[in-house]
Structure 1
Amino acid sequence: MSHFMSTEKWEEDSMVLDMRPMLRGETKHIHIDYLLTPDLPDGAQFDGDAHVLGDVTDEAGYMHLTLTATVAYRTECARCLEPVSGDFAVQLERTVAAEGTLTQEQLEENVDEYAVIKDGMLDLDEEIREELLLSFPMRFLCQEDCPGLCPKCGKPRRLGDCGCSLFEPDPRLAVLKKLFDKNEEDKEEN
């Protein structure tokens, strides 16, 4: 039996779990399976919605939420700018508590431990979106040992040697180099 319910208090695209049957002791388990449009992190695109699977179980008076959200992504390698794609999954576990059963101090100290039921409803989207954004890597690599781009010509180094010299003289010694170059010019003139 599904216990999803949307009310006008919540965003229209929000998935809200009706926890009242569990709070009344009518059920010990609620299965969760739905699609969520996640927020986009900078520099990445998601290929569709996140698939969210999970359960809420009543374990001797303690309600436990377990969720896994999986989303396909497209981005670029942080070193060579080649396209990178794959699936990213995040797992979320929370103790479910009704609003008013926890002190403000408990909520602030253990923000990642509790999912709070408000007016008999549990907004799953807020928890999942936050976890996806916080867990999504800031950089991706096409391969772990990606050599990146040549700093001179911009050619991907994994395609082979571009022939550019990577020698960079110490700028503090540039004055000496000018003196040596001038000395060489003087020798050539004589």
Structure 2
Amino acid sequence: MRRLRTWFIAAGTCGGLLAGGILVFGLLDERRNPAPAPQGVVIGQPTCLAPAVLSSLIPVPVLSPEPSVDPLPPPGTIPNDFHPTSAVVCEFMEYTADHGYAVVRQTSRIGNLTAVVEELDRPSAKRPWFGECPTAATIPTPVVWLVNAEGNAVRVAFPVDGMCGNPLPDAYRAIMNLTVQDEQIHKLPRSS
């Protein structure tokens, strides 16, 4: 009788530990899922010089030539009723030789926007259980605006890889392979 009771206690303890382990594993596995991007918000026109864009592009603060009147919406998913005809890409290129200015390249691009939308609509990858990001990117992800025929724009979020949070290569390539129609270079003074 005593052995039977000991066996039931051991079996109950093992069962409880197993159930607890499964519960903890399930909770931890949910944390691997990337946070969903918010719905993109359509605004009047794209900008590469707004303070919110510059702070996400350039590693150090710079002076924006645009006043910070209304905050820009965060990057998000493409609204279903938004039909882009072009893209505006904002890229941090370099600092000037004296490090007093940051150089931002603004390009208007045209091409197969259907492929771009398909790549941007892909889900982000889950984070792996183990592993490290080899090296953080030295150049931040570009800011991308999709623009419709009326000139309205939505700032889009890239789907990201699970390891480092970098843009998925196919989405990045789809945008960067669009034909450059117009290019502007902006030199922005660093704020002290």
TM over 0.5, yes or no?
no
Kindly indicate which of the two structures has a greater share of residues assigned to strand.
1
Q: Which has the larger radius of gyration?
A: 1
The normalised TM-score by structure 2 is 0.24
The normalised TM-score by structure 1 is 0.24
Q: Which has the higher contact order (CA 8 A, sep 6+)?
A: 2
